[in-house]
Amino acid sequence: MACKADRRSLCGVALNMIVCYDCMKPDFVLKLIINNNAIQEVDYDMKILHTCPKDDGFYMPAEFSRHYGCILIWPHRRDSWQNGAYAARKAFTQLITLISQTENVTVCARYEDYDSAREMLPPRVRVIEMSSDDSWARDVAPTFVTNGKDIRGIDWGFNAWGGLHDGLYFPWDKDNKMARKLCDLMEKDCYDCREFILEGGSIHTDGEGTLITTEECLLGKGRNPDMTKQEIEKKLCDMLGVKKTIWLRRGIYNDETNGHIDNICAFASPGEAVLAWTDDENDPQYEISLECLEILENSTDARGRKINVHKLYLPEPVCITEEECQGLDNMDGEPTRTPGERLAASYANFYISNGHVIVPQFGDKNDKKALQLLQQLFPDRKAVGIYSRDILIGGGNIHCITQQIPLF
């Protein structure tokens, strides 16, 4: 289609691209790229797909594979983040600055928070305006799949970790729209899977056909109660291109996500996994971790390998203080935290960037041990700790607030 607008009517310059708004339609934007002073038309077409990624030759790569970039959401919710999210924003800034040393970072910020994010973050970080209900990019941003040449996003359904059954807030409609918006922003096709409730923190893959998850989360009444375990497993295989799912029973004790896998277990490489661990038999976590260990050690991955499990010792129980609770707004007239409440602190909630393994730190004697173990398991990256208590108070940690974009 020929563009009737002349150069004087063109606007929206971005890099070497000019968007002609005179030609804009609801489902189509005409891009005009200037090459050697000549204008070339390029069609933009972000498709909403209803096919199966596995049938299309796409699969979910491991987090330890190379990344194009990472997505985060600037914290803002006052009943999640104490004192107006001020302390959390400083922790986010430290994390984002480190990630952006080796991969592209996009931070989504609400209209009213854009200036705060832009002022605090390095110039090399892209900040865009996008509405959200909270700041857990792992669970609301797309899960990306690849065919080795290009990537596509999966738009899962999101209901705030349990919907009206046991979800953490209502409404959640802004969060539920973010995955598709981000695919649109990146100009990547998007698989429509909103009928299936899933959060990114509930799945880990080794990139070679093996997935690990927990029954506590995926089989809970607040996710997909009308589906059987076998039906859910088939859905995971079809959407993520995996061949085998290893089901752990439960996640970290008192994890309000209903036991996300990313807080208790993760792949370090094919056939190698870390498991959150304690030797204290009086800790309720001991029984949970022991159960997970037995399952993992008696499992093989999709290629028939035994899984070598590395114990990642937990910090001593981390509990929220009365002062920290006072810094949180109430939700519907009720407090969101209780003084003395045990938080789901775990070193397993690390993020693997292109250059680093970024590990939560709690001011605990096991902080250094966690860094040492992960440095051994990731010799091609530098293990770096970030003090993350102000993220933990919100209900998650470093892995929960990040979502990687595979290299394409």
CB 392 within 8 Å of CB 324: no
Task: Report how far residue 257's alpha carbon sits from residue 344's, in angstroms, rounded to the nearest whole number.
Answer: 10
Distance separating alpha carbons of residues 326 and 286, to the nearest angstrom: 31
Output the CA torsion 217→401→62→127 (10° steps): 140
CA atoms of 391 and 42, how far apart (whole Å): 42
Q: Provide φ and ψ at 313, rounded to 5°.
A: -65, 135
Give me the amino acid identity at 50. Answer: H
Q: Measure Cα distances from 2 to 16, 26, 42 in Å.
A: 20, 18, 11
Q: In what order do the strands lie in the sheet with 67-73?
A: 126-129, 104-109, 67-73, 403-406
Task: Quote the tokens at residue 98.
Answer: 């480190």
Distance between CA atoms of 320 and 336, rounded to whole angstroms?
11
User: Whose CA is closest to 128, among 144, 148, 146, 105?
Assistant: 105
Write out the catalytic residue numbers: 400
In 252-335, the DSSP E strands lie at 265-269, 272-277, 308-313, 318-319
Q: Quick check: helix, strand or coil at residue 120?
A: helix
> What is the distance between the terminal CA atoms of the chain, rounded to a whole angstrom?
29
